Structure 1
Amino acid sequence: MKRFIALFAGLTLGLLSSLASAQAKFQEHKHYEDVAPDVAAKDLPRTVTGFFWYGCSHCYAFEPTLDKWLEHKSDNIEFVRVPAVLGRNWVPHAQAFYATEKMGISDKTHRALFDAIHKDRKPLFAPADIAQFLADTSGADAAEILMNMNSQESRDAIAQSIDTAQKYRLRGVPALLVGGKYLVDPGSVGEELPEVIEFLLDQ
């Protein structure tokens, strides 16, 4: 019995030590921001929201890191992409995202649109040009894509994106909202991103 108690105490101390180490390693205002201080950490949903803009070179550079995390993330963590709209010229790209998601072709177009803008230097910023590119890439109809880009559903989704960005004081992209409480700048955490996410969700 004494041996069991000693073992249990050792495991408990080890867990507390690991938690303390993580808390010392990852600090608010350095690795993350608490943008919902009224939300208790113990009540956090295991969700991560990824804000991006197709025209953002930093978002483009972050995609491989994000893809690697998505490939290995825990199954009980839900990830959602949200196109940020922090300027009027961001709207067409948000429209493109929501249209391709609705049409079920985003697996063919998401990375392709990033590549076209940043790798191939194509000036894809006008809705008609974007729709034609997405059509050429996916085999879908350009007119249908443009119709979905301009749909009420797309407008409502963009309005929700804007409200979310304002609620959580989003100032730039790429950014990750962890548990609806913590905002993480991927550039500030680098390769430690998976550890930061797990640390924030497990507080």
Structure 2
Amino acid sequence: MIKKNLSLWVLSLTTFFLLACSNGSEASRDAKPALAPASSESYIKIAQPVRTSDPNKIEVSEVFWYGCSHCFSFEPMVHAWAEKLPSDVVFVRSPAMWNELMVTHAQAFYAAEALGVLDKVHQPLFDEINLKKNPLRDRDAIEKVFLAHTEVSAEDFRKAFDSFGVKSQVRQADARARSYGIAGTPEIIVNGKYRVTGRSAGSKANMLKVAEQLIAQERAAKK
């Protein structure tokens, strides 16, 4: 009976993470045939453009969640792609959140940035949830990941995680996502003007191709 209950719990948790990649209106999944990059159907124009971090650069923002299996599989692709972006493009990440668990994970992301260890814990946070099936429900669970992969002390981690600065960034990220009109994860936002999703582009690989076309479009508009 215990074994049966445990199996049901694991199945329920897995289902929760799969469903949570969407906020209920649109899932970013590879369900459609690939569309021609930058065609009017391959992206969604944001009605009211959102201010970017640097007006002198073309900003590409990945909206993601550590608990999203689509984001987990997309991460190696977008990481390699972002490494090769030209100097006039800035790549940023912005965590999505439409429940309390996602808010907690957003705090983990910004705490890692504040402590200068995002490069050391970004993938482990993904792995912990998607491979080890550890939901990282609270600060204590997340702390163990930081301690295992960085030299940060428990005290410094807790100070950063609970800091006003980190919580302020979480609120700003939530406000941005609402302004973008995010419907699922992952999504790519180009220069605060265009949303690119797996559904609109046709596949995760096409999301990056569409983003490249929109970058070129924005670059041409600056001339």
TM-score of the superposition, structure 1-length normalised?
0.79
Q: 2:102 aligns with which of 78, 90, 93?
A: 90
The runs of at least 4 aligned residues of structure 1 exceeding 4 Å deviation read none
Output the amino acid matched with 1:110: H
Per-residue CA deviation, residues 31-85 of structure 1 (Å, 9 max, x unaligned), is 110013669xxx9951101111111111101101101211222222100111112
CA contact (8 A) 1:131 1:143 kept: no
CA contact (8 A) 2:188 2:211 kept: no
Matched, 1:196 2:210: yes
CA contact (8 A) 2:114 2:166 kept: no
Matched, 1:121 2:144: no
| Aligned-residue offset at 1:137 | 1.5
CA contact (8 A) 1:45 1:180 kept: no
The corresponding residue for 1:141 is 153
Output the amino acid matched with 2:207: L
Structure 2 CA distance, aligned partners of 1:65 and 1:56? 15
What is the number of residues matched between the two proteins? 177
| Aligned-residue offset at 1:165 | 1.0
| Aligned-residue offset at 1:163 | 0.9
Structure 2 CA distance, aligned partners of 1:80 and 1:186? 19
Unaligned 5+ runs, structure 2:
1-34, 218-223
1:100–1:38 distance in 2 versus 1, CA, 3 Å: closer
Q: Percent identity?
A: 33
Q: 2:46 aligns with which of 35, 40, 43?
A: 35
The corresponding residue for 1:153 is 165
Structure 2 CA distance, aligned partners of 1:124 and 1:96? 10
Which of the pair is proportionally richer in helix? 1
CA contact (8 A) 2:58 2:88 kept: yes
What secondary structure, in the 3-state scheme, does the structure 2 residue paired with 1:202 have? helix
Matched, 1:73 2:85: yes
TM-score of the superposition, structure 2-length normalised?
0.72
Matched, 1:172 2:203: no
CA contact (8 A) 1:148 1:154 kept: yes
| Aligned-residue offset at 1:124 | 1.5
Output the amino acid matched with 1:75: S
Structure 1 CA distance, aligned partners of 2:213 and 2:37? 10
Structure 2 CA distance, aligned partners of 1:60 and 1:198? 21
| Higher RCO structure, 1 or 2 (CA under 8 Å, sep 6+) | 2
1:194–1:58 distance in 2 versus 1, CA, 3 Å: closer
Which has the greater radius of gyration?
Answer: 1
Query: How large is the RMSD of aligned CA atoms in angstroms?
Result: 2.2
1:142–1:87 distance in 2 versus 1, CA, 3 Å: same
